Amino acid sequence: MSDETPLLDELEKGPWPSYVKEIKRAAKRSPASKDLLRIQEQSYKDRVTHWKHGGIVGVTGYGAGVIGRYCDAPEKFPEVTAFHTMRINQPAGWFYTTKALRKVCDIWEKYGSGMTNFHGATGDIILLGTTTENLQPCFDELTEAGFDLGGSGSALRTPAACVGQARCEWANIDTMALIHDLTMTYQDEIHRPRWPYKFKIKASGCPNDCVAAIARADFTIIGTWRDALRIDQAAVKQYVNDGMDIVSLVVNNCPTEALAWNEKSSTLVLKADDCVRCMHCINMMPKALRPGLQKGATILIGGKAPILKGANLSWVLVPFMEITPPYTEMKELLAKIWDWWDEHGKTRERLAELIERIGLKEFLRAVDIKPVPQMINKPRANPYVFF
Amino acid sequence: MSDETPLLDELEKGPWPSYVKEIKRAAKRSPASKDLLRIQEQSYKDRVTHWKHGGIVGVTGYGAGVIGRYCDAPEKFPEVTAFHTMRINQPAGWFYTTKALRKVCDIWEKYGSGMTNFHGATGDIILLGTTTENLQPCFDELTEAGFDLGGSGSALRTPAACVGQARCEWANIDTMALIHDLTMTYQDEIHRPRWPYKFKIKASGCPNDCVAAIARADFTIIGTWRDALRIDQAAVKQYVNDGMDIVSLVVNNCPTEALAWNEKSSTLVLKADDCVRCMHCINMMPKALRPGLQKGATILIGGKAPILKGANLSWVLVPFMEITPPYTEMKELLAKIWDWWDEHGKTRERLAELIERIGLKEFLRAVDIKPVPQMINKPRANPYVFF
Amino acid sequence: MRKTDIGPPDYRTMLPDVIAKNYGQWKYHEIVKAGVLKHVSETGDEVYTVRAGSPRLVSIDFIRDACDVADKYCDGHLRFTSRHNVEFLTPNKQNVEPLIQALGKLGMPVGGTGDCISNIVHTQGWIHCHSAATDASGIVKAIMDGLYDHFTNMKLPNHLRISLACCINMCGAIHCSDLAVVGVHTKPPRPDHQKVLAQCEIPTTIQSCPTGAVRRHPDANIKSVVVKEDLCMYCANCFTVCPAMPLADAEADGVAIYAGGKVSNARKPPMFSRMVVPFLPNHPPRWPEVVDVLKKIVEVYAASAKPSERLGEWIERIGWEAFFRRTEIPFTEQHIDDFTHAVETYRTTTQFKW
Amino acid sequence: MRKTDIGPPDYRTMLPDVIAKNYGQWKYHEIVKAGVLKHVSETGDEVYTVRAGSPRLVSIDFIRDACDVADKYCDGHLRFTSRHNVEFLTPNKQNVEPLIQALGKLGMPVGGTGDCISNIVHTQGWIHCHSAATDASGIVKAIMDGLYDHFTNMKLPNHLRISLACCINMCGAIHCSDLAVVGVHTKPPRPDHQKVLAQCEIPTTIQSCPTGAVRRHPDANIKSVVVKEDLCMYCANCFTVCPAMPLADAEADGVAIYAGGKVSNARKPPMFSRMVVPFLPNHPPRWPEVVDVLKKIVEVYAASAKPSERLGEWIERIGWEAFFRRTEIPFTEQHIDDFTHAVETYRTTTQFKW
Ligand code: SRM
Ligand code: SRM
Ligand code: SRM
Ligand code: SRM
Ligand code: SF4
Ligand code: SF4
Ligand code: SF4
Ligand code: SF4
Ligand code: SF4
Ligand code: SF4
Ligand code: SF4
Ligand code: SF4
């Protein structure tokens, strides 16, 4: 069968780096990648996928971390007959030494297609495509090198953190330390699926939410502060002198009218009680404004994609939680949530969907948290109340 | 049994006119009103109602217009054993000659309790409390006097109009003429229930919606205009000279930033394309601003109270309809809506609930109106689309 | 012979001359003072409107009194408003003060215009309805006494509309009012097995329940229904179709208070009223707890809202958490929506006030 | 012996010195130019970050190239971002330009910071997923080529995030993106009666359908399922649990485009992306229709939004009717929600633009 890939070749053109080039590079040494290229060209012709559901494949002792894949035309594409991916848990914040990365590359050159995703949408390193036989030895060498598998299936998925205090002045919590700790604490939950469905945890250091935790995590941790944000009036003046139209760019964009510009004293006036910590003014004037000093996190729950009952954004469960090792309060909360979900959840029912079905009231009772207005945007409009 | 009403007597105190005084006045001549007072006192003691469901009572040839009522203790309150109300269709806009009103009073003195509601929440005159025997003769004298019954049950309910062009400079349509015409056209639909449930029509002359049509009518007619609102700059200046802070009170309250205040020329600048005709600026400066000249109405549907599936506000069906006698376009639309609702609606299913159940798409096809973005605030967020 | 389907009188036969003459030609209006409107026509004509409060539940004597005033000052015409106030219209400025005097004598308060609290749209209650979970006219009287000054003055940020319905059928269409008082049951219906068969269609009754709480009686010999109490939300649909399952209960019935609704499209689109107090007991004759909560909310609103801001617009601006803090109304489980679109009310952001 | 549950490497072993030293002490940052960040610490230390675009689907050679650069200029460290860009960090200002040169040689564009279009979060597509209704990396490449200048420049009102998912499972979590491209099927699954019994649990398969479209095969002898086509919304849940009912179809599969979502809490709370184009055909290799629509939207947005206004904030301000008018995208039945909370999307006000 021909090795020509006229359609894919079109995707080598243009300024953006080309994944087709990448597959071709890998194909030089990996027959699997060669067939990957060919089967992709086939899909470009047919305009359908040529992959089938994977059976249960994996490594001893784990129920997660490998996505099984088989192609639907092994006779045409023998080298990708089986083409499983391994999800490798990234170090929190996605920092690497080149030494560690090269090691992963060497192992994958030996056991896999040489193709990867840096990174998967959840955050893992995705080692894309190997055979069933190679899974175990590849895993063994990876653990030797200090890496382990991430989550898949009805398990806790690999938690993720924004860069946080490692390189961001706005991090109200140490997201990387927290996520590393949780990941280590919940190795069993990550590797051995036992729940109604997947569960995701993500942590951002401030409401900018640079890991999109509120949209993608059943359990969303977002750094915040209780006191007033800090203002360096001199630096504010500097921005204004440098020509920033502070009123239209900053003051008028405050969602709660918490800011005012005092022309006379050319100072920025904050009504701290009205600030909802949206970050906008801080984002606009990083040299002049900073989060407050009483730092902690808001815990939100329920974020997920549309399957099955529609997408959810996480909503506020705990307005403020102090975030200090060993994170006991958070872990106790997670335990209560998982118990309740495990007990009442149907198969493929995410936490948010279970709460929608059974009611937030029941949930709050189960995790014994008392209702506060911060949990809602607005009270009920209907008169259909249970007493 | 005692005629003392110590509890009700408390409600004769205080500055607001007292309905208890009113019942006592009626009681002077009406034994029924005397027992009404006593049964009300009873309820004030027991803190429960003493009225029972009414059977089907009414006048010959009509299925609507009378609400049957019986008390649950005829032995104690014989005079209100049967105490039905008659709903009398008000003249559009609730204008009366004293002659007409006195006539109604005389008839009601003769046949009823002498107690009334001016008016009922739908808009009818409510003649509150009479016996089954008196219904027909009372009705006959009322029709002689030029009055007729309104709607009840699963019928078209008495339509209502704001005062409109009779005494309001903002009326974009002649609400009273329209509502009178519709009421006359649909006498049969009003008097002979035949639908899955009730149906209500209300018309307001502008988006201030002084009959709360958007909240209370399945078919909501609200006057509007297509061109730019009219500005009398001289009158604007006058307001400003009289000390109105036009920027904070008017300009800044425009929901779409369609207004600007030009300090130099001290003129009010309108971006007509951005105006959503909310009325605020006009409301604030009635002497300077007026609706435009291309007048018509927006038709909205679905408004209702919570029973059964929750309350609805009416939503836009026809962004702009010209409103001129004989209102053919509107009547054709009503016919299509009623046919579809009649065919698909379950018992006690209001139009909005049927649309929620079957889908707006189906409804639009049935009444053949093509979808426009004005019908929605925002497109779907979910990916669950039927093609 | 008998007349039917003649419809209501033609409104044109009911109009005062000045209205008929200037119909559709009004140019502008001003509020002369609380309760007095002046409308000016393109023709130069003027009409003064004096608006007076009414209990709505009135005797024919009341109507006749009003007619007497109208005959004296308004050439024998008057009208009622969509909120049940009475309006006396006259082209003669001179008539205005005497009119006000005359209404004073009748005990009819003049007001209800502009930035005020107008009449309360309300319903039947214990006066006439079998479905009532509370009274209507009685609470309304108590509330209007308590807020009387706001009817006769115009010192609020914008007008404030109060409505009351004696059960959740909400005949007052109170679901979009600045302040709404609604009668609620808090105990399930008690089917009367003697009467059910006689008075009710059992299948219809079972169907009527939105939560499926009404079930056939387990004992096949008893032709009646039972209520699964934990599923019941006391909506009374079953009672509406089956009189033999009353919910009324002296202790368990009372009122809930909702706030922040509006109907007009001015500035913000129309909004639903939302729960602020899930339950207050029925304490006739004057429902003091209800009056106090409403007064408190009006006070805080009047003190802190901006000009033109409706109650609901103000709450949206400051946030519900701030509303509960400032009004000192306790927040409970019941405030959290658990009906069909509940999730749409959850706070899916880190934006909130402490 | 075999190691398990060791977890990921400790991030502390992966940090460059300057990061380890100033961890938690960063004071402020500035964007030196597109793709170059400068963070300044309380200690006075500085770190420069050069951000480079990556196709995400890369060979180990690509990683090794990046490592070479990092060894040369970043003391052997680098990181990846939550949008799959590669970041090279160095305390030495002098290294920045050479770094950029070196990346240029490798064909890695520098940019993705500030008011730009960063990398596209995306998924597997025809490269690896059985569920794909379209490809991922291919469209992404075509789109980034088309919008390349917005990656290397910062001339938008705010940053604009594009995401892509090859089926409505939405692995890219694209449901809150400024612009989202999602693979959709538009024909029901075709159960393969031979395979169903062998490969699928029939009850589970029937249950899996949210609309109840999957039914037992009417012929009791055929142990399989049928699909009630008019109930099917092509969500593929049945296919996820039962491989024997594929939906993939060359003609009927394609992509839908959603817009206006955001995640950050800055100014407006997070928002969902909403449908702007219900269906565009799969036209590999470069999906020109898709690229054109996205370019058009970006153009109109860039031209008319205010500074700091995200795409969705801009649309909310001008209104969806104005959005469709200005972008000249046709409005169809499919845009109107008919799912669970549909009514919440209807326009319950007279406020709209013509
Ligand atoms: C690899 C990855 C996409 C990528 O290219 O990066 C991925 C790939 C798959 N996802 Fe996903 N999901 C991936 C991140 C996500 C995310 C994003 C996230 O985690 O932040 C989401 C949205 C967030 C969420 O969970 O709601 C996501 C929502 C889904 C769903 C819908 C779940 C839902 O409740 O809505 C499914 C369907 C399912 O679970 O059956 C799914 C199912 C799948 C499956 C396993 C397909 C299947 O049904 O078996 C895909 C395997 C593809 C393959 O052949 O490799 N994937 N999936 C991502 C995981 C890589 C990693 O571990 O880092
Ligand atoms: C008399 C009146 C209240 C009043 O004191 O003014 C009234 C009284 C009753 N309404 Fe109403 N409704 C009255 C206006 C309304 C309104 C307001 C309106 O029409 O603008 C509404 C809300 C708007 C709407 O229709 O959604 C209203 C929504 C209901 C409902 C709930 C309907 C729904 O779909 O949500 C019911 C329950 C039912 O229909 O079974 C109801 C049922 C009733 C019944 C017939 C009780 C029953 O279930 O049999 C009440 C008879 C009371 C009695 O004994 O006299 N009434 N009802 C109003 C009619 C007077 C008139 O004709 O002018
Ligand atoms: C007489 C009446 C119409 C009728 O056919 O009966 C009426 C008459 C006027 N309304 Fe109204 N409205 C009347 C019920 C309403 C209602 C319906 C209701 O209250 O149930 C509404 C919607 C209420 C709501 O939004 O919840 C209503 C919302 C308005 C507004 C919008 C105010 C706002 O900012 O939201 C205006 C504009 C204004 O007041 O500046 C308005 C303005 C007016 C004007 C100034 C119109 C004009 O130029 O004549 C009239 C005198 C207002 C005043 O009282 O100061 N009218 N007006 C109704 C008097 C009721 C009463 O006795 O108090
Ligand atoms: C590196 C990264 C975090 C990480 O752990 O990897 C990051 C880093 C920074 N983000 Fe972010 N954000 C990163 C993903 C995100 C995401 C998540 C996403 O895009 O999926 C979001 C939410 C997106 C959304 O809202 O849809 C995000 C929303 C923000 C915002 C809010 C902007 C807004 O007005 O909505 C800011 C503030 C700003 O840009 O002024 C911000 C600001 C920043 C700052 C300035 C924080 C700081 O002081 O260092 C960092 C440089 C921003 C820049 O690129 O100009 N970052 N940022 C991520 C880089 C992704 C990329 O390669 O492009
Ligand atoms: S989420 Fe906040 S703390 Fe984390 S990287 Fe983004 S801006 Fe910094
Ligand atoms: S953080 Fe947001 S809410 Fe707080 S003051 Fe700044 S702009 Fe306003
Ligand atoms: S609705 Fe408009 S036209 Fe009708 S009375 Fe009110 S303000 Fe005037
Ligand atoms: S009517 Fe409303 S939207 Fe139009 S200009 Fe006036 S305030 Fe703005
Ligand atoms: S609100 Fe309820 S109780 Fe009151 S009149 Fe209407 S139906 Fe009767
Ligand atoms: S009151 Fe409502 S919920 Fe309770 S049983 Fe009756 S119908 Fe059902
Ligand atoms: S979005 Fe769908 S097709 Fe794409 S990877 Fe995820 S599950 Fe597979
Ligand atoms: S695609 Fe979805 S809707 Fe269609 S049959 Fe399968 S599960 Fe049901």
Tally Cβ neighbours within 10 Å of residue D229: 10
Using a CB–CB cutoff of 8 Å, tell me whether A372 touches chain C: yes
SS3 B179: helix
Longest dimension (CA), chain D: 79
Distance C166 CA to ligand 9 centre (A): 5
Cβ neighbours of D323 in B, within 8 Å? 373
Is residue D163 lining ligand 1, measured as CB closer than 6 Å? no
Question: Phi and psi dihedrals of B196, rounded to 5?
Answer: -60, -30
Mean pLDDT over A120-124 rounds to 98
For residue D1, what pLDDT is reported? 61
- The set of residues, in sequence order, having a beta carbon less than 8 Å from that of A75 and lying 6+ positions away, is none
Whether ligand 4 lies within 6 angstroms of the CB of D112 is answered as: yes
Ligand nearest to the CA of B255: 8
Distance between Cα B201 and ligand 3 center (Å): 19
Mark yes or no for CB contact B187/C67 under 8 Å. Answer: no
> Which residue among C4, C16, C284 places its CB closest to the CB of B61?
C4
Closest Cα of chain A to B296: distance in Å? 32
Give the pLDDT of residue D2: 79
Which atom in ligand 6 lies closest to the alpha carbon of residue A250?
Answer: 7
ω before A119 within 30° of 0 (cis)?
Answer: yes
Distance from the C129 Cα atom to the nearest Cα atom in chain B, whole angstroms: 6
Strand D254-259 vs strand B125-130: parallel, antiparallel, or unpaired?
A: unpaired
| Residue B101 burial by Cβ neighbours in a 10 Å radius (0-12, 13-18, 19+) | buried
pLDDT digits 0-9 by tens, B6-59: 999 999 999 999 999 999 999 999 999 999 999 999 999 999 999 998 888 999
Interface test with D, best of C176, C263, C265 (most D CBs within 10 A): C265
Among B residues 114-173, those touching chain C with beta carbons less than 8 Å apart: 114-119, 121, 123, 128-129, 140, 143-144, 146-148, 160, 162-163, 165-169, 171
Q: Is D47 helix (H, G, I), strand (E, B) or coil?
A: strand
pTM greater than 0.95:
yes
Task: Using the Cα atoms of residue B321, residue B324, residue B328 and residue B330 in order, give the sign of their dihedral.
Answer: positive
Beta bridge partners of residue B160, listed in sequence order: B202
Q: Can you tell me the mean pLDDT for C131-140?
A: 98
Say if the Cβ atoms of B276 and D278 lie within 8 Å.
no
Residue A55: the pLDDT is 80
Nearest to B32 by CA among B110, B94, B148: B110
Of the candidates A116, A160, A169, the beta carbon closest to that of D26 is on A169
**Helices (H), ranges, chain A:** 6-9, 19-29, 31-46, 98-111, 132-144, 175-185, 187-191, 213-216, 233-241, 246-249, 280-284, 328-344, 351-358, 360-366
The DSSP secondary-structure symbol of C83 reads T
- The confidence score (pLDDT) of residue B53 equals 86
Could you give the CA distance from residue B155 to residue B135 in angstroms, rounded to a whole number? 20
Q: CA-to-CA distance for A122 and A118, rounded, in angstroms?
A: 11
Quote the percentage of chain D above a pLDDT of 70. 100
Closest-CA residue to D59 (of A90, A116, A27): A116
What's chain C's average pLDDT?
A: 97
Chain C contact for B93 (CB, 8 A cutoff): yes
D60 vs A207: CB contact, 8 Å cut-off? no
User: Using one digit for the tens of pLDDT, what is the confidence trace for C222-233?
Assistant: 999 999 999 999
Nearest CA in chain D to B309: D343
Reply yes or no on whether the pLDDT at D317 is more than 90. yes
Verify whether the Cβ–Cβ distance A379 to C336 is below 8 Å.
yes
**Neighboring chain D residues of B312 at a CB cutoff of 8 Å:** 343, 348
Best CA proximity match to D354, nearest among B381, B289, B298, B251 = B298
Residue reference for tokens 């919008």: D147
Helices B98-111, C60-73: axis angle to 10 degrees equals 160
Q: Determine whether the interchain pair B214/D336 forms a contact, defined as Cβ–Cβ distance below 8 Å.
A: no
Q: What is the mean pLDDT of residues D257-271?
A: 98
For the sheet with D274-281, list strands across it.
Answer: D162-165, D179-184, D254-259, D274-281
pLDDT-derived band at C1, boundaries 50, 70, 90: low
Is the pLDDT at A1 greater than 70? The verdict is no
List, edge to edge, every strand of the sheet that includes D36-41.
A95-97, D77-80, D86-90, D46-52, D36-41, D26-33
Q: Do D67 and A102 touch (CB under 8 A)?
A: yes
The rounded percent of chain C whose pLDDT value lies above 90 is 99
Compute, in angstroms, the gap from residue D169 CA to the centroid of ligand 9. Answer: 47
**Mean of per-residue pLDDT scores for chain D:** 97
Nearest by Cα to C43 from C68, C18, C63: C18
A159: closest chain D residue by CA: D8
**So what's the pLDDT on residue D297?**
98
At D164-192, the pLDDT tens digits run 999 999 998 899 999 999 999 999 999 99
Tokens of residue B160, six digits: 């209502």
For A311, the closest of B306, B310, B381 (CB atoms) is: B381
Residue A54, pLDDT > 90, answer no
Chains in contact with D, where contact requires at least 3 CB pairs less than 8 Å apart: A, B, C
Q: Which of D128, D120, D235 is nearest to D187 (CA)?
A: D235
Closest approach atom of ligand 11 to CA D167: 2
The pLDDT of residue B281 is 98
**Whole-number pLDDT of residue A2:** 73
D6-52 pLDDT, tens digit per residue, is 999 999 999 999 999 999 999 999 999 999 999 999 999 999 999 99
pLDDT value at B1 more than 60: no
Determine contact, residues C88/C78, Cβ cutoff 8 Å: yes
CA of A178, nearest ligand number: 5
Q: Which of B311, B381, B384 lies nearest to residue A381, judging by beta carbons?
A: B311
Rounded to the nearest 10 degrees, what angle do helices D320-327 and D311-318 cross at? Answer: 110
Written as six digits, the tokens of A141 are 């060498």
Give the span between the Cα atoms of D323 and D334, in whole angstroms.
16
Q: For residue A90, give how far its alpha carbon lies from the nearest alpha carbon of chain D (Å).
A: 6
Q: Whose alpha carbon is nearest atom 6 of ligand 4?
A: D81
B249 lines ligand 8 (CB under 6 A): no
Atom of ligand 12 nearest to the CA of D236: 1
Residue B357 neighbours by CB under 8 Å, 6+ apart: B349
Ligand 12 atom with the shortest distance to the CA of D212: 8
Chain A touched by D44 (CB under 8 Å): no
Q: Residue C348's closest chain A neighbor by CA?
A: A315
CB-CB neighbors (< 8 A) of A310 in chain B: 381-382, 384
- Nearest residue by C-alpha to atom 7 in ligand 1: D171
Closest CA to C281 of C293, C273, C272: C293
Cross-strand partners of D183: D255
Distance of CA C268 to the CA centre of its chain: 21
Record the tokens describing residue A101, joined without a space: 């990365």
Say if residue C31's pLDDT is above 90.
Answer: yes
Give A251: exposed, middle or buried? Use CB within 10 Å, 0-12, 13-18, 19+: middle
pLDDT confidence of residue B3: 85
Stretch C324-342: mean pLDDT: 97
State the Cα–Cα distance between residues A340 and A359, nearest whole angstrom: 12
Say if residues A27 and A34 touch (Cβ distance below 8 Å). Answer: yes
Average pLDDT over residues D85-99: 98
Residues of A in contact with C338 (CB under 8 A): 359-361, 380, 386
CB D81 within 8 A of CB D54: no
For position D150, what pLDDT does the model report?
A: 98
Residue D285's CB is within 10 A of a number of other CB atoms, namely 21
- Residue with CA nearest ligand 6 atom 2: A278
pLDDT for D187:
97
Is it the case that residue C188 has pLDDT exceeding 60?
yes
Q: Which band of pLDDT confidence, cut at 50, 70 and 90, is reported for residue B2?
A: confident
CB of C237 sitting under 6 A from ligand 10: yes
The chain B residue lying nearest A311, using CA atoms, is B382
Residue in chain B closest to D252 (alpha carbons) equals B387
Confidence of residue A53 (pLDDT cuts 50, 70, 90): confident
